[in-house]
Amino acid sequence: MIIDTLSIGLPKKEVFNGREFITGICKTPVSGLLRLGKTGFEGDGVGDPRYHGGPNKAVCVYSREHYSYWEEVLGIGMPMAAFGENLTVTDLREEEVCVGDIFGIGTAVVQVSQPRQPCATLAARLGREDMVQLVKDSGRTGFYLRVLEEGMVEQGNALVLRERDARGVTVSFTNRVRYHERDNREGIEKILSVPALSESWHRFFLEVRERGRGGHGS
């Protein structure tokens, strides 16, 4: 589990398929030590703080192994940090990491807080209107980290598992219940039992439970 690429970018105007966005999704790989604070890497930012950024979404992580899948599905060469991730990592997939897991990276300590939710900006960047649904269906969402201890991080650092969350609720399982199994009452209760789950995802699952909503949703 190694940082293959560390990427940052401040929000700026981008034009995707003729539409203008103020976004930080187009990130640039950097080398050398970079400070990781409570709300993210120095020199990184988000365009819409209503839905991105903040302590529970300080760092976005995506698996390098997913890139070949998307190149085949989309029929394009993927740009670096194509999903707007800060850390493109090796050997760390959604079915292998749990919400609440704690990792050391460089001198920082981080914790998995929630899956990454695909958005319209990602779809526009990659030129696929159906990209949000494709990501949800594939389960290849990536995930977010909160920062427990600030520190210095660089490309090539290992992600060292410090503590596995005892509940064993994987990012993959969390995605599956949210997007495909909203009638899975036991699954919802299991997810809600994870103290490390971000406030927004905890609230979402509480609302589903309280509505008694069944069936499949997206």
The domains located in the chain, with CATH, are: 3-163 (2.40.33.20)
User: What average pLDDT does this structure show over 167-191?
Assistant: 96
User: So what's the pLDDT on residue 77?
Assistant: 92
Q: What is the side-by-side strand order in the sheet with 3-8? A: 28-29, 3-8, 87-89, 59-63, 143-149, 108-115, 102-105, 159-163
Least confident of 54-58, 85-89, 101-105: 54-58
Confidence of residue 216 (pLDDT cuts 50, 70, 90): very low
Residue whose entry in the numeric block shows the structure tokens 């989309």: 74
Distance of CA 119 to the CA centre of its chain: 11
Summarised one tens digit per residue, pLDDT across range 180-204 is: 999 999 999 999 999 999 999 999 9
Q: Helix H segments across 44-109?
A: 66-74
Q: Which residues of 140-154 are buried (b: 16+ CB within 10 A; e: fewer)?
A: bbbbbbbbbeebebe
Confidence of residue 217 (pLDDT cuts 50, 70, 90): very low
Confidence of residue 218 (pLDDT cuts 50, 70, 90): very low
Mean residue pLDDT across the chain = 93
Least confident of 44-48, 55-59, 143-147: 44-48
Summarised one tens digit per residue, pLDDT across range 82-101 is: 999 999 999 999 999 999 99
Summarised one tens digit per residue, pLDDT across range 203-212 is: 999 999 988 7
CA–CA separation, 58 vs 41, rounded Å?
8
CA–CA separation, 53 vs 39, rounded Å?
7
User: So what's the pLDDT on residue 126?
Assistant: 92
CA–CA separation, 204 vs 90, rounded Å?
30
User: So what's the pLDDT on residue 213?
Assistant: 56
User: So what's the pLDDT on residue 145?
Assistant: 98
Task: State what percent of residues in the chain have pLDDT above 90.
Answer: 86
Whether 124 has a pLDDT exceeding 80, the answer reads yes
